[in-house]
A and B are shown apart, each in its own frame.
Chain A
Amino acid sequence: QVQLQESGPGLVKPSETLSLTCTVSGASISTYYWSWIRQAPGKGLESIGYVHYSGSTNYNPSLKSRVTISLESQNQFSLRLTSVTAADTAVYYCATLIGPYDKFDYWGQGTLVTVSS
């Protein structure tokens, strides 16, 4: 059973960098694409991007200039979002991304990140 767990600060100051880690169990990091999705309070889902074990990445064009998704170890990957504003306040989910239909199959429980001074 694949399980994912997000971790990181729940509060980030405006203009600073949001950093989250997703810890994976039950699957090899080489098996899937590894992605981040966010959901602002009361809003819909927004795909942020993904990383593959080969090192390739793909980002949402609206966030591309501020986002980095990286593999950190055999069972962790990370999200960095720079220059955050209140608009980046959201629940952040990590998830597996499986082709060819790019379905998000397994999800973490999500972690709320608030951007506020």
Chain B
Amino acid sequence: DIQMTQSPSSLSASVGDRVTITCRASQSIGNYLNWYQQKPGKAPKLLIYAASSLQSGVPSRFSGSGSGTDFTLTISSLQPEDFATYYCQQGYSTQGFGPGTKVDIK
């Protein structure tokens, strides 16, 4: 099984901050990596697929990078609606998710 880890598990940030979340796979997954945003009581929302492709309708302040085992999600300027939990998910084998990173208000 491919194990996914994320860091940090939580972070506090202010509106306008640049935020970076890291996801690591236990083995190489190429660019088979997707990112989701989840707000309390809601279903997750796809933000980024194939490591760096922006899902239609997602603001351009979200970006993704990486390949192999190490990936990042960056929010260039945090907005009030971005406070949420973010999950990475590998699409290489059995679609495993990372444990999540909660972004809250500083």
Picked from B42, B87, B91, the residue with its CB within 8 Å of the CB of A44 is B87
Which chain A residue lies CB-closest to B4?
A44
How many chain A residues have a CB neighbour from B under 8 Å?
23
Residues of B within 8 A of A79 (CB): none
Q: How far is A61 from B96 in the complex, measured between Cα atoms in Å?
A: 11
Residues of B within 8 A of A100 (CB): 32, 91
- In the bound complex, do residue A45 and residue B44 qualify as a contact, i.e. CB atoms below 8 Å apart? yes
- In the bound complex, do residue A60 and residue B94 qualify as a contact, i.e. CB atoms below 8 Å apart? yes
- In the bound complex, do residue A102 and residue B91 qualify as a contact, i.e. CB atoms below 8 Å apart? yes
- In the bound complex, do residue B1 and residue A103 qualify as a contact, i.e. CB atoms below 8 Å apart? no
Stretch in B10-18, B70-78, B97-105 with 4+ CB within 8 Å of A:
B97-105
- In the bound complex, do residue B87 and residue A101 qualify as a contact, i.e. CB atoms below 8 Å apart? no
Residues of A within 8 A of B99 (CB): 44
In chain A, positions 71-117 with a C-beta closer than 8 Å to chain B are 93, 95, 97, 99-105, 107-110
Residues of A within 8 A of B44 (CB): 45, 93, 104, 107
In chain B, positions 4-28 with a C-beta closer than 8 Å to chain A are none
Residues of A within 8 A of B36 (CB): 45, 104
Do A101 and B94 form a contact, CB below 8 Å, given A45-B87, A61-B1?
A: no
Picked from A47, A93, A107, A109, the residue with its CB within 8 Å of the CB of B95 is A47
- In the bound complex, do residue A93 and residue B97 qualify as a contact, i.e. CB atoms below 8 Å apart? no
Q: How far is A107 from B43 in the complex, measured between Cα atoms in Å?
A: 7
Interface residues of B, Cβ cutoff 8 Å to A:
1, 31-34, 36, 38, 42-46, 49-50, 55, 87, 89, 91-92, 94-100
Q: List 6 A-B contacts (CB under 8 A).
A: A44-B87, A47-B94, A95-B43, A101-B32, A103-B55, A107-B45
